[in-house]
């Protein structure tokens, strides 16, 4: 059974239609990258996927969206906020429980964030910040991750590390990416968005970044 | 030829208010009526420089009571204010909060005085209730302005309470803490002033010392008060808060008994308009007469005087601010001069306007002048401080002009908008204070309220308080519409 299917649907926000004529079917285990110019509607499409998937998916928003006043532990713990009682959540806010700390630690170790567990997220470097946002999504128990430009503000080495972690720890990966080479390398299916429509949907095997040129060239130019 | 452009909305608003204030001033009584104000002033100055800390043995206790009322009142106001902020989207909560904060602490105290007598409950509730209304509004604004982005990353299906705890509360918390500190400072001033209506705080001793001409004692009381406020950030530490609160609750003299029959009579008899109490035929007509008499003989002249004084004080505050903020602005003055400026502004804004007006009234005799000077000094010191701090963030180019040219060309145009924003924000505060100064004998609404309480005519007092509250809500609404029309905004730190 497919994970998600869109049949001639449209999407937008604030009553403004941005995407239309959407036909997509996503199977479990796929690794899909959305590519296209900024403003083409990648984020809108990703958001539509996320809304359909509900609690099955963890979201990694474009701006990381960490809570500044909280520690790394608290921000990561938020990935399972929906699975715990309010009392448990309140307790962990004030005094983190040992077993929850251990659970969070397991996610932080491979991301090299263990020592930062109880630092405020305001003190983190750009890469650590992005990895904390990833850790939160990985801590989420759903096996789908929806990530909007997850590696936009880190260097290539860290970008690979983050994408690698997503691919190994989540079954299905849905990404919006502006780096074409990385998109082809880490995704097995590329969806190209242009002018409010899906104009390309194919396997990435054998593709080169220049195959995506048509998505970026302005048709009127 | 290019036509002269129309005056900007900013200039039009300014000149409009200026015009209204001048008209008000023309009709205002601002005469100094005491025979020899300078002699008394000389004595006061002499007292100020020779403070006597041993004149009353109850000085420490008065200070402790002042702190206790402020701590308990602000803590309680915080708890209720926070709770109300969570449901502030409900219309009746917003209206209710606007109403309870439109009534000044002293009016609340006068009401509770009838219910609980001199029990500490009177002082604590008088602070807690209006503060809850103010805090609810500010906290609701803080929560609204908090970073909403993390909300998007919360897993689908998370409970509302959990999301609130993890996403919205943490970032707002630091703002809540800062604002609570500011409220505590206000609470200390309110608490001190409550002494003027008989509670055992600093104001009580201040009034009696002043009336007896013991200016050295006045000086000691004021110096202690400034010290407490100036050192607040040192002694107010989070882990110590429970200790302070328990201590405050323990030292207050709760033993003062209050009678339940008194309380029930207040609600069932005393506050019912007099002609309606007897009932029977013609009571409705008598009520009409009573209402008309009260509105025309007291509420109306009280309102006119209150608005008149408020408008003069508002514009005078604006003028004084323009003079005060340079005193602490690094753009205009050197370090040494600024230290003096800071000291002056701290003293002027720490002195409650009520105490300032009381002192000036005793020196100059009853007229609007003491009230105008007190209100504008105190409020200009507050706004001047905020604007002065704001200029610290302004970067001038290296070749900027100096002296008066710099003030008029570089600095004033930059600060005028934020200054007006703060001024209009405080308009309502000034009005509330103006009404209260009536208790000192200036014929604003507070004068009639106080007289009604003194005559034990609580039905009249309550109606007049209602009128005052309505006036306050009106001014708040006008101020908000002017601020939004001129796009004048205040930041979180300035509320």
Taking only the tens place, the pLDDT of each residue in A15-67 is 788 888 888 899 999 999 999 888 788 888 998 999 889 888 999 988 878 88
Q: Which CATH class is domain B299-495?
A: mainly alpha
Which residues of chain A from 41 to 60 reach within 8 Å of chain B, CB to CB? 54-55, 57-60
Q: Which residue has the tokens 């003062």?
A: B256
**Interval A115-161: pLDDT, tens:** 999 998 888 888 899 999 999 999 999 999 999 998 888 888 889 99
- Please give the span between the terminal C-alpha atoms of chain A, in angstroms, as a whole number: 43
Closest-CA distance of chain B to residue A126, Å: 17
Q: Helix axis angle, B120-145 relative to B91-102, nearest 10°?
A: 130
Q: What is the pLDDT of residue B32?
A: 84
How far is it, in rounded angstroms, from Cα B379 to Cα B230? 18
- With beta carbons less than 8 A apart as the criterion, state whether B459 and B272 touch: yes
Contact between chains at A55 and B167 (C-beta distance less than 8 A):
no
Domain B57-270, classified CATH 1.10.3720.10, yes or no: yes
| Domain A4-216 = CATH 1.10.10.60 | no
Average pLDDT over residues B408-414: 88
User: Which residues of chain A does B153 touch, with a Cβ-Cβ cutoff of 8 Å?
Assistant: 59-61, 65, 78, 133, 136-137
- What is the value of ipTM here, to two decimals? 0.80
Please check the confidence at residue B352 and state whether its pLDDT lies above 60: yes
Query: How many angstroms separate the CA atoms of B296 and B258, rounded?
Result: 36
Strand order in the sheet with A144-148: A57-60, A144-148, A172-176, A31-35, A189-194, A197-203
For residue A219, what pLDDT is reported? 47
Residue B153 has its nearest CB partner, among A65, A84, A90, at A65
Q: Which residues of B touch A140 (CB under 8 A)?
A: 155
SS3 of B235, please? helix
Mutate to test the interface with B, among A78, A87, A122, A133 (most CBs of B within 10 A): A78
Measured between alpha carbons, how far is B473 from B494 in angstroms, rounded to an integer?
20
**Is the pLDDT at B313 greater than 80, yes or no?**
yes
Q: How close is the nearest chain A Cα to the Cα of B183, in Å?
A: 22
What token pair was written down for B475?
């001014």
Query: Would you say residue B492 has pLDDT above 70?
Result: no
DSSP 3-state of A168: helix
Question: Do the chains contact at B153 and A68, CB–CB below 8 Å?
Answer: no
- Encode B271-303 in three state secondary structure: CCCHHHHHCCCCHHHHHHHHHHHHHHHHHHHHH
Domain B299-495 in the same topology as domain B57-270: yes
Residue B56: per-residue pLDDT: 67
Is the CB of A67 less than 8 angstroms away from the CB of B170?
A: yes
Interface test with A, best of B156, B171, B177, B178 (most A CBs within 10 A): B156
- pLDDT given at position A172: 94
Mean pLDDT (chain A, rounded): 88
CA distance B124 to B54: 28
Query: Quick check: B15 and B491 in contact, CB under 8 A?
Result: no
Which residues in chain A are closer than 8 Å to B151, comparing Cβ atoms? 65
Comparing C-alpha atoms, which of B344, B348, B408, B395 is closest to residue B373? B348
Q: Which residue in B has a C-alpha nearest to residue A122's C-alpha?
A: B171
When pLDDT is cut at 50, 70 and 90, the band that residue B382 belongs to is: very high
List residues of chain B with CB under 8 Å from any CB of chain A: 147, 149-159, 161-163, 165-167, 170-171, 173-174
Which residues on A lie below 8 Å from B142 (Cβ)? none
Chain centroid, CA B434 distance in Å: 10
Provide mean pLDDT across the span A83-90. Answer: 90
Is A203 within 8 Å of chain B by CB? Answer: no
What is the domain partition of chain B in residue ranges?
57-270, 299-495
**Closest to B186 (Cα-Cα) out of B341, B378, B339, B58:** B378
DSSP-derived letter for residue A200 is E
What whole-number percentage of chain B has pLDDT above 70? 97
Give the H/E segment covering residue B413: helix B412-437
Please check whether residue A165 is in contact with residue A22, taking contact to mean a CB–CB distance below 8 angstroms: no
pLDDT of res. B258: 75
pLDDT tens digits, one per residue of B43-69: 888 988 888 888 767 788 899 999 999
Of the candidate ranges B1-10, B211-220, B317-326, B384-393, the one whose mean pLDDT is the lowest: B1-10
A136 touches B at CB < 8 Å? yes
Q: Which of A140-149, A153-162, A209-218, B74-83 comes out lowest in average pLDDT?
A: A209-218
**Quick check: B156 and A93 CB within 8 A?**
no
Residues of A in contact with B154 (CB under 8 A): 78, 81-82
From chain B, the residues in CB contact with A70 under 8 A are 166, 170
Q: Over 50: is that where the pLDDT of B257 sits? A: yes
Whole-number average pLDDT of chain B: 89
- Return the residue matching tokens 């530490």: B237
Please state, in angstroms and rounded to a whole number, the distance separating the CA atoms of residues A58 and A68.
20
Beta-carbon separation of A82 and B156 below 8 A: yes
Q: Are B455 and B397 in contact (CB under 8 A)?
A: no
Phi/psi for A62 (5° steps) reads: -55, -40
Mean pLDDT of B68-88: 96
Domain boundaries, chain A: 4-216
- Letter string b/e over residues B54-80, b meaning 16 or more CB atoms within 10 A of that residue's CB: ebbeebeebbbbbbbbbbbbbbbbbeb
Query: Global pTM?
Result: 0.85
pLDDT tens digits along B327-343: 999 888 888 899 999 99
Record: contact B152-A55, CB cut-off 8 A: no
Chain B contact probe: residue of A46, A57, A69, A145 with most B CBs at under 10 A = A69
First to last CA, chain B: 46
Chain B residues close to A82, C-beta within 8 Å? 154-159, 162
**In Å, how far is A65's CA from the nearest CA of chain B?**
4
- Flag whether pLDDT at A220 surpasses 70: no
Q: What are the counts of helices (DSSP H) followed by strands (DSSP E) for chain B?
A: 24, 0
- Read off φ and ψ for residue B439, nearest 5 degrees: -60, -30
The fraction of chain A above a pLDDT of 90, given in percent, is 40
Instruction: Please give the interface size between A and B, counted as residue pairs whose CB atoms are below 8 Å apart.
Output: 79
Q: Which residues of A touch B176 (CB under 8 A)?
A: none
The answer on pLDDT for B180 being more than 90 is yes
**Distance in angstroms (rounded) separating the CA atoms of residues B323 and B10:** 20
Backbone angles phi, psi at A202, to 5 degrees: -150, 165
Render pLDDT for B100-145 as a digit per residue (tens, 0 to 9).
Answer: 999 999 999 999 998 888 889 999 999 999 999 999 999 998 998 8
Report angle CA B409, B411, B415 to the nearest 5 degrees: 125
Would the CB atoms of A54 and B171 count as touching at under 8 Å? no
- H or E, element range at A8: strand A4-13
Least confident residue range of B272-286, B361-375, B456-470: B272-286
Of residues B253 and B106, the one with the higher pLDDT is B106
Do B166 and A82 lie within an 8 Å CB cutoff? no
Q: How many CA atoms lie within 13 Å of B191's alpha carbon, on the beta-carbon side? A: 30
B165/A59 touch (CB, cutoff 8 Å), yes or no: no
pLDDT digits (tens, 9 = 90+) for B193-232: 999 998 999 999 999 988 888 899 889 999 999 999 989 8
Contacts of B158 in chain A (CB under 8 A): 81-82
- Band of pLDDT at residue A221, cut at 50, 70 and 90: very low
For residue A197, report the phi and psi dihedrals to the nearest 5 degrees.
-135, 160
């Amino acid at each position: 059974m497919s994970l998600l299917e869109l049949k001639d649907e449209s999407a937008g926000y604030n009553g403004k239609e941005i995407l239309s004529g959407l036909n997509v079917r996503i199977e479990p285990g796929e690794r899909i990258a959305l590519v296209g110019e900024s403003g083409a509607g990648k984020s809108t499409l990703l958001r539509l996927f996320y809304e359909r998937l509900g609690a099955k998916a963890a979201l990694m928003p474009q701006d990381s969206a960490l809570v500044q006043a909280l520690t790394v532990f608290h921000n990561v713990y938020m990935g399972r906020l929906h699975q715990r009682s309010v009392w448990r959540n309140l307790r962990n806010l004030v005094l983190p429980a040992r077993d929850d700390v251990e659970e969070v630690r397991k996610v932080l170790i491979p991301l090299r964030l263990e020592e930062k567990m109880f630092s405020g997220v305001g003190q983190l470097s750009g890469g650590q910040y992005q990895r904390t946002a990833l850790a939160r999504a990985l801590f989420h128990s759903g096996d789908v991750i929806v990530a909007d430009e997850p590696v936009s503000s880190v260097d290539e080495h860290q970008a690979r590390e983050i994408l690698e972690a997503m691919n190994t720890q989540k079954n299905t990966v849905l990404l919006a990416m502006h780096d074409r080479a990385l998109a082809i390398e880490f995704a097995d299916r590329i969806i190209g968005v242009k002018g409010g429509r899906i104009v390309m949907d194919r396997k990435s095997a054998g593709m080169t970044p220049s195959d995506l040129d048509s998505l970026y060239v302005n048709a009127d130019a | 030829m290019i036509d002269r452009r129309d005056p900007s909305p900013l200039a039009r608003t300014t000149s409009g208010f200026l015009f209204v204030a001048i008209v008000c001033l023309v009709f205002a009584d601002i005469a100094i009526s005491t025979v020899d104000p300078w002699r008394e002033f000389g004595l006061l100055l002499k007292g100020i420089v020779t403070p006597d800390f041993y004149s009353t043995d109850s000085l420490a206790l008065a200070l402790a009571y002042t702190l206790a009322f402020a701590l308990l009142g602000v803590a309680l106001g915080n708890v209720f204010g926070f709770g109300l902020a969570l449901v502030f989207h409900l219309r009746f909560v917003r209206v209710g909060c606007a109403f309870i904060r439109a009534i000044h602490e002293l009016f609340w105290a006068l009401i509770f005085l009838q219910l609980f007598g001199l029990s500490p409950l009177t002082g604590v509730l008088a602070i807690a209730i209006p503060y809850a209304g103010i805090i609810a509004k500010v906290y609701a604004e803080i929560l609204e302005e908090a970073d909403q982005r993390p909300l998007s990353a919360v897993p689908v299906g998370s409970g509302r309470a959990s999301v609130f705890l993890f996403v919205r509360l943490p970032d707002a918390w630091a703002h809540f803490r800062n604002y609570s500190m500011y409220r505590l400072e206000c609470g200390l001033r309110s608490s001190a002033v409550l002494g003027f209506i008989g509670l055992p705080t600093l104001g009580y001793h201040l009034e009696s010392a002043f009336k007896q001409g013991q200016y050295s004692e006045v000086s000691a009381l004021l110096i202690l008060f400034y010290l407490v406020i100036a050192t607040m950030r040192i002694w107010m530490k989070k882990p110590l808060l429970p200790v302070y609160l328990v201590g405050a609750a323990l030292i207050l003299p709760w033993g003062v008994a209050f009678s339940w029959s008194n309380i029930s009579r207040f609600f069932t008899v005393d506050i019912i308009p007099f002609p309606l109490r007897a009932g029977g035929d013609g009571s409705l007509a008598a009520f009409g007469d009573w209402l008309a008499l009260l509105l025309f003989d007291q509420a109306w002249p009280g309102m006119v005087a209150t608005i008149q004084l408020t408008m003069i004080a508002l514009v005078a505050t604006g003028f004084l601010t323009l003079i005060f903020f340079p005193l602490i602005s690094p753009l205009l003055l050197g370090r040494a001069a600024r230290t003096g400026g800071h000291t002056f502004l701290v003293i002027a804004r720490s002195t409650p306007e009520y105490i300032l007006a009381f002192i000036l009234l005793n020196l100059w005799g009853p007229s609007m002048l003491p009230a105008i000077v007190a209100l504008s000094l105190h409020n200009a010191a507050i706004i001047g401080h905020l604007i002065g701090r704001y200029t610290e963030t302004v970067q001038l180019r290296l070749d900027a002009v100096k002296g008066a040219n710099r003030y008029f060309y570089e600095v004033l145009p930059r600060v005028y908008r934020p200054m007006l924003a703060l001024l209009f924000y405080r308009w309502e505060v000034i009005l509330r204070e103006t009404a209260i100064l009536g208790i000192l004998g200036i014929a604003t609404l507070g004068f009639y309220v106080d007289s009604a309480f003194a005559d034990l005519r609580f039905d009249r007092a309550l109606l007049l308080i209602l009128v005052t509250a309505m006036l306050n809500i009106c001014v708040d609404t006008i101020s908000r519409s002017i601020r939004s029309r001129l796009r004048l905004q205040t930041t979180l730190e300035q509320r």
